[in-house]
């Protein structure tokens, strides 16, 4: 892999091909029960046990891109987790008319042992060699290497990531089939997985960004070429979610239904994909590359999460007109998620990108979407029905930007729109049910 600095050769990274793989054996058992206490209180109690064992089997040694008959030794019991998860929920009728309910729950939920979060780079990792371009001799010159023994070290006390979730809510039936509710949800995730360098020595230096002219305190490595990369549970990694929700529900009766909600929430914290700009958060280690192995990665990184959306309004409604004609609509209006920006600095250990500011100072545009359906049903016989369907997606023909080509200020396509909503689309459908 070659890395240029504004078009000029700068670094070259070289590593031999090696196999990555693993096996996960898992077992789970759970018990749950419901208790009715009097005529107002119902308790739901549960308890779960999980056992997971991840190991690396024998894998072929590679000759460039060709597997050989030689095998690397298996690594047994690489990750072993045994967890116990309590769950409790209750429903209490606050009034004698049984129309006002209190609902509350608590649960602990452990992450599955995803192979992609620990098998790479894995114990078979090859040396990682770094070269710089020597302009005096006009060719690449060897600089340093990360050996296989220091490029990946599994923390023997690696803990299972988990989430504690609490919810409490009230619901009141105002009219037959019509209820309003209010609820609060709190979720905290701890023991998140991440990579740490435990051998690098750094000094703080002030540097001015060439991209925005601002001054940042960055970390310059004094012992370049020395690293011990650990897969562990970094102490600062966590995710915290708080949300309040107002709901209105009208069950289908008298030819119409309504399901609406207004949510205000905040999602903050830090995880191994703290530089991620996508809307996906899974298999964080495999998607985060070497994030966290350099302290510059963590500058401005604790803050709002990539999917934080303070306000979300959702409305689903349907009405059945005479002659068995159904009209339905789905509407959503929500705040755009944070839009991060990155600048970079040329340090002794190489180029490092940092967040220019904590997430949330800038956001993608707020977006609004409405879909509509009109459907006519013809009853041919008691068991055979024919339906004619007319759909309109994105009624407003919104062209809201949801993703940029680049979030790096030093690139020519910085904040150039890449993904927008599909345009207004019409569809006519015919369906035969029998």
**Rounded mean pLDDT of the chain?**
93
| Domain at 16-433, CATH class | mainly beta
Residue-level pLDDT at 7: 86
Contact 124, 18 (CB under 8 A): yes
Residue-level pLDDT at 283: 59
Say how far apart CA 188 and CA 110 lie, in whole Å. 12
Residue-level pLDDT at 227: 86
**Burial of 258: CB neighbours in 10 Å, binned 0-12, 13-18, 19+:** middle
Nearest CA among 367, 180, 174, 337 for reference residue 260: 180
Query: Average of pLDDT values for 7-34?
Result: 93
Show the CA angle centred on residue 299, arms to residues 297 and 302, nearest 5°.
100
* Residue ranges covered by each domain of the chain: 16-433
Say how far apart CA 92 and CA 98 lie, in whole Å. 9
Say how far apart CA 278 and CA 196 lie, in whole Å. 23
Say how far apart CA 196 and CA 217 lie, in whole Å. 20
Residue-level pLDDT at 280: 60
Say how far apart CA 29 and CA 433 lie, in whole Å. 41
Spell out the alpha helix ranges (H) of 206-328: 284-288
Position 278 pLDDT exceeds 80: no
Query: Average of pLDDT values for 265-287?
Result: 79
Displacement of CA 171 from its chain's centroid (Å): 31
Q: What is the pLDDT of residues 83-125, one digit of tens each?
A: 999 999 999 999 988 899 999 999 999 999 988 888 878 888 8
Nearest CA among 161, 152, 95 for reference residue 125: 152
Q: Going along 119-237, which residue ranges are E strands?
A: 128-134, 139-146, 153-154, 162-175, 178-190, 194-197, 202-208, 215-221, 229-232
Residue-level pLDDT at 290: 84
Q: Which residue has the higher pLDDT, 412 or 117?
A: 412
Q: What is the pLDDT of residues 385-394, one digit of tens each?
A: 999 999 999 9
Q: What is the pLDDT of residues 127-154, one digit of tens each?
A: 889 999 999 999 999 988 888 777 788 8
Q: Ramachandran region of residue 6, left (φ > 0), alpha (ψ -120 to 50) or beta? A: left
Q: What kind and span of H or E run contains 149?
A: helix 148-151
Displacement of CA 25 from its chain's centroid (Å): 25
The rounded percent of the chain whose pLDDT value lies above 70 is 98
Residue-level pLDDT at 350: 87
Q: Going along 73-160, which residue ranges are E strands?
A: 75-93, 100-110, 128-134, 139-146, 153-154
Give 281's pLDDT tier (boundaries 50, 70, 90).
low
Q: What is the pLDDT of residues 188-208, one digit of tens each?
A: 999 999 999 999 999 999 999
Neighbours of 180 (CB within 10 A): 14
Residue-level pLDDT at 145: 87
Residue-level pLDDT at 268: 95
Position 287 pLDDT exceeds 80: no
Say how far apart CA 337 and CA 124 lie, in whole Å. 38
Residue-level pLDDT at 279: 57
Spell out the alpha helix ranges (H) of 331-405: none
Contact 21, 59 (CB under 8 A): yes
Residue-level pLDDT at 319: 97
Q: What is the pLDDT of residues 25-42, one digit of tens each?
A: 999 999 999 999 998 999
Position 369 pLDDT exceeds 90: yes
Residue-level pLDDT at 125: 87
Q: What kind and span of H or E run contains 52?
A: strand 41-56
């Amino acid at each position: 892999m070659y890395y240029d600095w504004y078009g000029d050769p700068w670094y070259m990274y070289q590593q031999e091909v090696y196999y990555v793989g693993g096996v996960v054996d898992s077992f789970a058992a759970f018990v749950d029960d419901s208790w009715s206490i009097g005529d107002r209180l119902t308790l739901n109690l549960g308890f779960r046990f999980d056992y997971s064992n991840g190991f690396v089997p024998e894998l072929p040694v590679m000759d460039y891109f060709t597997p050989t008959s030689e095998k690397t030794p298996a690594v047994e019991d690489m990750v072993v987790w045994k967890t116990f998860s309590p769950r409790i929920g209750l429903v209490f009728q606050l009034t004698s008319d049984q129309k006002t309910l209190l609902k509350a729950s608590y649960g602990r939920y452990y992450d599955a042992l995803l192979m992609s979060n620990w098998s790479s780079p894995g114990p078979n990792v090859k040396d990682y060699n770094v070269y710089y371009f020597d302009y005096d001799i006009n060719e690449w010159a060897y600089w340093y290497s990360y050996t296989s023994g220091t490029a990946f070290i599994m923390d023997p006390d690696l803990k299972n990531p988990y989430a504690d979730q609490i919810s409490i809510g009230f619901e009141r039936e105002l009219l037959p089939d019509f209820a309003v509710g209010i609820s609060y949800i709190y979720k905290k995730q701890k023991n998140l997985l991440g990579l740490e360098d435990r051998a690098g020595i750094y000094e703080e230096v002030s540097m001015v960004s060439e991209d925005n002219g601002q001054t940042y305190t960055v970390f310059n490595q004094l012992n370049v070429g020395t690293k011990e990369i650990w897969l562990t549970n970094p102490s600062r990694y966590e995710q915290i979610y708080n949300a309040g929700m107002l709901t209105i529900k009208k069950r289908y009766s008298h030819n119409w239904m309504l399901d609406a909600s207004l949510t205000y929430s905040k999602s903050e914290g830090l995880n191994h994909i703290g530089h991620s700009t996508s809307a996906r958060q899974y298999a964080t280690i495999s998607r985060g590359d070497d994030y966290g192995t350099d302290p510059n990665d963590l500058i401005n990184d604790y803050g709002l999460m990539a999917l934080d959306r303070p306000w979300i309004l959702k409305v689903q409604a349907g009405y059945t007109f005479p002659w068995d004609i159904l009209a339905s609509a789905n509407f959503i209006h929500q705040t755009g998620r944070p839009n991060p920006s990155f600048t970079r600095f040329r340090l002794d250990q190489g180029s490092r990108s940092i967040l220019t500011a904590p997430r949330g100072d800038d956001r993608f545009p707020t977006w609004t979407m409405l879909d509509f359906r009109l459907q006519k049903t013809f009853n041919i016989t008691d068991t055979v029905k024919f339906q004619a369907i007319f759909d309109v997606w994105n009624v407003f023909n919104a062209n809201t930007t949801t993703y940029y080509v680049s979030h790096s200020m030093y690139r020519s396509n910085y904040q150039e729109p890449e993904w927008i909503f599909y345009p207004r689309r019409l569809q006519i459908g015919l369906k035969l049910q029998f």
